[in-house]
Chains A and B, each alone.
Chain A
Amino acid sequence: MPVAGNPYQDDRGNKDRSIANPQGAGEIVHRKGGKARPSEAGGAFLIGDAMTGGYGKGPDILHDCTIAVNQGEIAVIVGPNGAGKSTAMKAVFGMLDLRQGSVRLDGQDISDLSPQDRVVQGMGFVPQTNNIFTSMTVEENLEMGAFIRRDDFRETMAQVYDLFPILKEKRRQPAGELSGGQRQQVAVGRALMTKPKVLMLDEPTAGVSPIVMDELFDRIIEVARTGIPILMVEQNARQALEIADKGFVLVQGRNAYSGTGRDLLDDPEVRKSFLGG
């Protein structure tokens, strides 16, 4: 995230692309993280517990916010625009400075880890935008997903192709030439290549047609059936809650409601304020 007031991040209005190339530049600050510690606190398989924090030195966006997902479950974060849904997800992934609270995965406290170390620990993350390597082929995208693996990953690739048959067909094509729904499949496939312990999806259905959206949800359920817990942020609250084992409704960076997907769908308060009656 650009930090306000950092003079190095002021490009003085330069638009001259013959000397500067902003394309693909990253926003995640490369920081050296700490180590994971064993934790006694218990709780869910992956839990962002009572998180408070914001970007850099900016104001707090999350306030005592808790997100959790258990093995074999789908957990969904919903809420109105600007509620901090994506921010909560990024906080769990370590892209945010937490001032309070902790993140624990599989009995380890990973609050101090940098995002790249969390990938090694088994977290797969699919960002909302720019989530594929557009200039590389589908197969190269998957290979890059498996970058941290030194073993033979052909089997995992075959599994991904089984899950998303269209990708196998298009594996020699640059990923940037695919349709929106296919791109999302590449993005999820790339994240699956590490064999993650938990998969985090930031609005996987943003900007795709309703038909493609249904198909994507089906695929996500299939992924969950293979035993990978899934934590996802969704705009389409109703559909997401229908497939969710657990739902978190955030409002202004705070937990407003949480419960099983069914409970939230049946809760008159939630229905009235978020699901349109």
Chain B
Amino acid sequence: MEFLNAFVALSNYVLIPGIAYGSQLALGALGVTLIYGILRFSNFAHGDTMAFGAMVTILVTWWMQAQGISFGVLPTALLALPFGILGTMVLLVVTDRVVYRFYRQQKAKPVILVIVSLGVMFIMNGIVRFIIGPDDQNFADGARFIISARDFKAWSGLDEGLALRTSQGITVITAVVVVVALFWFLNKTRTGKSMRAYSDNEDLALLSGINPERVVTYTWLIIAALTTVAGVLYGLDKSFKPFTYFQLLLPIFAAAIVGGLGSPLGAIAGGFVIAFSEVTITYAWKKVLGYLMPEGLEPDGLVQLLSTDYKFAVSFVILLIVLLFKPTGLFKGKSV
């Protein structure tokens, strides 16, 4: 019984939130890794692209809510998601045409593009705050829980409750669908293969008749979908605040590098490594240990290794360790 209670508490506070957060990071890191592999630079505007996609989705969600359109028990934001993706696609393709294409034609070195993306980041950041404001926005609706703590307690008879929020369930399912679709696209379709070819050897792709501009455009379209989905899922699960998305850049890059930059599988693994490290280190283990430890040895303190305010330090330290000891990442990406 004690053990079961400990396990349920662990699931409730660590496993489920970790999996949901990990899926969100994985989607973000997948985007970063794709840009790094195909467009050859680290896109610092990634977090703010996520914010933009989430913002468009939120605006459409509010409009739908005002029109009385709803998605039943599921959040209306899922209905608005395609519009958010479309909006982000327009933004990214326009940004590419107006900004990045010039540097591509100049054959600019990747480090120049990194700095360019930093500029793009500030612009996008400004656009989002200008339109929706810097404050917290709430847009989640529909049923709040798939399993609520009270129902679980009544059903299982345990002292500990297990809650599974709708947003968490949706996050995991959506992430799986998106990842499967992306892998299928990259490995099986003609366009996906041409993107891998371009990533592998740009000149030879050109000599094979692959149009580089088209590859770049497709990449941005996929990035738009990935960022918007990641942004909306994060917003549904936590809350939408532009600055939080900017801060997400660190765990997302940490995830991409831990997994091995340029490796899509690595990005997913890295997302979960970072998420679980963050959650386990900032979680107060008092309750779980209280169930597991023998009588009299239960801890008095919170047994929280790090306050949640310092959660970014976790990504940072992991990033440092990986760069020092295994610079290619877990999945043998391009050596960093």
Residues of A within 8 A of B (CB): 2-3, 6, 8-12, 14, 16-30, 115-116, 119-120, 125, 127, 130-136, 140, 143-145, 147-148, 190, 194
Contact = CB atoms under 8 A, between A and B. Distances in A.
A27 B40 contact: no
Contacts of B196: 133, 135-136, 140
B204 interface: yes
Contacts of A116: 206-207, 209, 211
A189 to B, nearest CB: 12
Interface string B156-194: 000000000000000000000000000000000010011
B141 interface: no
A122 B183 CA distance: 33
Contact of B106 (A8, A133, A145): A8
Contacts of A20: 40-42, 109-111, 113-114
A6 to B, nearest CB: 6
Given A28-B203, A140-B197, 12 more contacts: A2-B107, A9-B109, A10-B109, A16-B111, A18-B253, A20-B41, A24-B40, A127-B207, A134-B201, A135-B200, A143-B193, A144-B197
A202 to B, nearest CB: 11
Contacts of A16: 111, 336
Interface string B234-258: 0000000000000000000100010
B114 to A, nearest CB: 5
Contact of A190 (B111, B190, B208, B261): B208
Given A127-B207, A133-B204, A25 B108 contact: no
Contact of B109 (A11, A130, A134): A11
B35 to A, nearest CB: 9
Contacts of B114: 19-20
A69 B199 CA distance: 34
Contact of A27 (B37, B104, B203): B203
20 contacts: A3-B107, A6-B107, A14-B109, A18-B42, A19-B41, A20-B111, A21-B110, A22-B109, A24-B199, A25-B40, A26-B107, A28-B206, A116-B211, A125-B207, A127-B203, A127-B204, A130-B201, A134-B200, A145-B208, A190-B204
Contacts of A140: 193, 196-197
Given A18-B261, A21-B41, A116-B209, A131 B204 contact: yes
B154 to A, nearest CB: 50
A119 B109 contact: no
B103 A8 contact: yes
Contact of B42 (A8, A19, A25): A19
Contacts of B206: 26, 28, 30, 115-116
A136 B208 CA distance: 14
Interface in B65-110: 103-110
A26 B107 CA distance: 8
Contacts of A9: 106-109
A215 B261 CA distance: 39
Contacts of B103: 8
B4 interface: no
Contact of A120 (B106, B205, B209, B261): B209
A17 B111 contact: no
B213 interface: yes
B262 interface: yes
A230 to B, nearest CB: 16
